[in-house]
Each structure stands twice: as structure tokens, then as C-alpha cells.
Amino acid sequence: MREAEIRRLLAANLLCAVSIVLAAVVPAFFLDGFSVLGTHLTWLCVCSVCVATLNIVLHLVLKPSQSPKRSSFAHKISRFLKCCIYFFMSCILFHAIIVLYGAPLIESVTETFLLAVLLSTFTTLQCLCLLGPNIQAWIRVFSKNGAMSIWESSLQITSVCSVLGAWFGAFPIPLDWDRPWQVWPISCSLGATFGYMAGLIIAPLWIHWNRKQLTYKSR
């Protein structure tokens, strides 16, 4: 495994982590009263847009899954539209799952949906950038020993960490500590964000540590 490829992955992941930090700091210079807790819904939108934009730009620049075949313009448009549909479906699916796990069904619909958008940005968008709208490839990557590149291994780790972070973030909500961050869905979205950032750092370190065992044979 080439060390240069691991360094590219590390640089890309660190940029994504930095974008989240900037999304929490920079808007305060342009929006009065902006804060992660005080205007949480605005922060959710800003964070989702920043992470999504950077992931797309990094994919176009680094081309971790570049195909040797050149596709037509019509095929690219069709692929783009499919990706948009898949992302929207992912938001709806995450929203439904969050409600099934106890989120308010009618109240706080906007808050729940924006949390679903954030989770889709951390997970589904990465799949779409790396694998495209190919469900079979998604199933392969998230199956045991299914990753065929360090980018796919990183996708596994960051996606799992994001979902687990959101899940663990729900634990403090029912406790009567009366803290501002216990308001729905602040703790869940912060948990997902910290989980995603942890995954971004853990992934290249884990890959570097296990690089001799990771052969990534083509299937």
C-alpha cells in the first residue's frame, strides 16, 4: 500500500474536520447572534452545506474512484439526478428511523429533518461521491471485508462513527439536568458531528497501522 495514498486520505479527512470547525466559527462574523447552541438549526444547515461542498470538491480533485471509462454528458446528468434522488431518499429514511427511535412525530419536524440531512451528509453523500448511485457497491463496501481501497475503508469508519455518535448523543436527552444542549436535537447532532470527526481522524491512523494486512484484492 502506498504511503502517499494514505497521506492524501489524511489530508482530505483533516480538511473535512477543519470545515466543521470553520462552520461553527466563521458564520458568527456575518450572522448576528449565531452560535452552535443558540441558533442550532442555522448551524445544522451551514455545517451540512460546508461538509457536502467540500466532499464534492475533494472527490472532483482527488478522484479516488476514477473510472477508466469516459461517460457521455447525458450519462453524467442522469448519474447526478440519481444521486440527488438517493440523497433525498436517504434524508427521508433517516428521518423515519429517528422518529421510530423516539423523536417527536409531529412536533419538531424541522429539527428532526435537519438532523436527518446532517446524517445523510456524513454518510450517504460520501457513498454517492465515492461509489455513485450503485446500491450493490454500497452493500459490498459495508459487508465484512468488502472495502477495496483505503477510501472505502475510511467510508466505513466515518459512516459508522457518525451513526454511533448520533445514537450515543440521544442518551442525555431524557435526563433532568436542564442543560441547553439537551434540547432536541442538539445532543444528537453534536454526537453525530463529533463521531464523524473522530472517524475522520481514526480512519487514516487505523489504515496506516494495519496497512500490511490490508491488501485490497479486486473482486
The 8-class DSSP code of residue 70 comes to: P
What tens digit of pLDDT does each residue of 60-84 get?
898 876 555 666 788 889 999 999 9
3-state helix, strand, coil in the chain (%, to 5): 70, 0, 30
What tens digit of pLDDT does each residue of 144-176 get?
778 888 999 999 999 999 999 999 999 999 888
pTM: 0.92
Query: Residues 65, 67, 70, CA angle at the centre, nearest 5°?
Result: 145
Say if residue 113 is exposed, middle or buried (CB neighbours under 10 Å; 0-12, 13-18, 19+): middle
